[in-house]
Structure 1
Amino acid sequence: MAAHDHAQARSELGDSDGPQEDQLQEAFDAIVSEGAQRLHRTWREVLTTGLAGGIEVAVGVLVLFAVYAETGSHLLAGLAFSVGFIALALARSELFTEGFLVPVTAVAAGRGSLAQLGKLWSGTLVGNLVGGWLLMWLVVQAFPDLRATAITSATHFVDAPLDLQSASLAFLAGIGITLMTRMQHGTTSDVAKIVAAVVGALVLAGLQLFHSILDSLIVFAALHAGAPFGYGDWAAWFWYTTLLNMAGGLFVVTLLRLVRSKDMLQRERADAAA
């Protein structure tokens, strides 16, 4: 149902709270529409958009390495990494950790199934990792002076024990990336979306939160560069980071948005069942 139809329905029922509610409804409708489109992609579309997303994040990692090597500042390197998130936003590629708010809302609204959500998540995750792994190999070959920077950066993640601090860093990363998604879907302005991407990059990369895709690409670069650890060390870090990213994104930002949109979800499910 179009946004103006929802607004008319609310007006007739006398439950419209004015312009703010209308804006929330428009944002909700846009999220459901985009989420349904993403959920109904074929495997080919899911994998290719995931590959593209991994490549774009890898470009951001390249710039992150270059700036960190020159400045030694994680905050400046995090700002530089925003190139990757800006590319994702403008090119409309797919990042695994950006799949928590939008497609989940579409499923809750009855516009997609859990099986489709599983396909989107698994295909995007594989595509991100494969695309990122390939481009990080190319980066290491093209910029051998950055190899030491890659190994130093990756050590922060693979050497981290599974304790409360590591779990908190991964949980916060899930909240941060999903909040960035929420901000970008709350506006139609490309400038505002870019600002949200820069803020997201500063929080995630600048503060070295544990992000399953971004930091995996850093580790892949280090492995290509001959790091003194292996893929087993990466996997030992990756499994809990991925689960906690999902927990932070789903049980904080997404859940709050779904609770806030309860009435809209009920109307949408009724429309979907009609």
Structure 2
Amino acid sequence: MDQKAQRKRLGNNDLDIEDELLEEAVDTVVEGAERLNRKWPELMVTGFFGGIDVGLGILAMMLVKQATDSDILAGMAFGIGLLALKLAHSELFTEEFLLPLNAVVAGQGTITQIVRLWAVSLVTNLLGGLAFISIVVLALPDYHQTIVDTAVKYMDQPSLVIMIALSLLAGATITLGTRMQQGTSNDVVSALLCMISGLLVIGLGMLHGAINAIIIFAAMLAGAGITIPDFLYWFAIVIPFNMLGGLLIITLPRLVRTHRVLKAVRTGEISLEDLEDEAN
């Protein structure tokens, strides 16, 4: 039995690729195309509610942080926000780079659409988070000091190198966590993955532009001595390296695994409908 015959024997499809990888290619292309082709109102509202969902996680994080003074427990509590993102089908910046990128590689979207998706998601995440966290700051004055201390910790990094590394890790962790969630239909497993992601990102003090920015906004509203230029400098460093972490560490290696199939769809060697039939 030659190598090609052996590979085909491992799956039930005719594309010389494992069934699991074929299913991944189909699922990511279809869902990615749906996200890229959202109308403007749908895209903006989805991102806005993504910010609110993160704000809910931050609210839980602040409660546990003040009660226990434990970053680990606070991070697990933040997982509530990540679970809300999944259940509400909201969009968090860096949450899932693989879906739209696979759709573009397969010819089901354009670079302009992917830039629009990421830019609008980021801006609306911040707006939704600011709206929600403003209410939190007004309603819970006893938590102001905890909010300020947390934000200052994110802003005050020992060195630029550490700041960059923490940003890369945050982008990779959030992207991988949400990718793993898409690999299961078990709600209990999804909830555990959300808690683990929160544990790692918050517990280890990683820097995620959208998540940390909402906490920093809350601290500024609570009277922290953080200026807008200080925030913009921090933001300009964190966001690009969040993207690099999600893209280079997690997304691109996965893209290589299914690139041959995606290329076949783009060049017309096989239609997306036929690809779905093969996967099923």
Name the TM-score, length of structure 1 as normaliser: 0.91
Identity %: 41
For residues 91-115 of structure 1, give each alpha carbon's deviation from its aligned partner in whole angstroms, at most 9, with x where no partner exists: 1101111141211111111110001
Q: Judging changes above 3 Å, is the alpha-carbon distance between structure 1 residues 163 and 16 closer, same or farther for their aligned structure 2 residues?
A: farther
Change in CA separation of 1:15 and 1:170 when aligned onto 2, cut-off 3 Å: same
Shift of 1:161: 5.6
2:55 corresponding residue in structure 1: 58
Instruction: State the Cα distance separating 1:13 from its structure 2 match.
Output: 11
Q: Specify the alignment match of 1:17 in structure 2.
A: 10
Superposed counterparts of 1:102-113, under 5 Å: 102-113=99-110
Which ranges of structure 1 fall in alignment gaps of 5 or more residues? 1-10
Q: Which residue of 2 aligns with 1:251?
A: 248
Matched, 1:205 2:202: yes
Runs of 4 or more off by more than 4 Å in structure 1?
Answer: 11-14
Deviates more, 1:137-146 or 1:263-272: 263-272
1:176-216 Cα offsets, whole Å, 9 max, x none, are 01111221122233332222211111111111100111111
CA RMSD of aligned residues (A): 2.0
Which residue of structure 1 aligns with residue 152 of structure 2? 155
* 1:270 partnered with 2:256: no
**1:229 and 1:156 mapped to 2: Cα distance?**
12
Letter in structure 2 aligned against 1:196: L
- Correspondence 1:233 to 2:230: yes
Post-superposition CA distance 1:127-176 (Å, at most 9, x none):
10000011111000111111000000000122226511111000111110
CA contact (8 A) 1:39 1:117 kept: yes
Tell me if structure 2 keeps the 8 A contact 1:97–1:246.
Answer: yes
Is the counterpart of residue 118 in structure 1 residue 115 in structure 2?
A: yes
Listed as ranges, the gaps of 5+ residues in structure 2 are 272-280
Aligned to 2:212: 215
Aligned length: 264
- Quote the residue 1:141 is aligned against: 138
Shift of the 264–86 alpha-carbon distance from structure 1 to 2, 3 Å rule, reads same
Within 5 Å, give how 1:185-196 maps onto structure 2. 185-196=182-193
Quote the Cα distance in structure 1 between the aligned partners of 2:55 and 2:251: 26
1:75 corresponding residue in structure 2:
72
CA shift digits 1:29-64 (9 cap, x unpaired):
111111000000111111100000000000100110
Contact residue 99 and residue 121 of structure 1 kept, 8 A? no
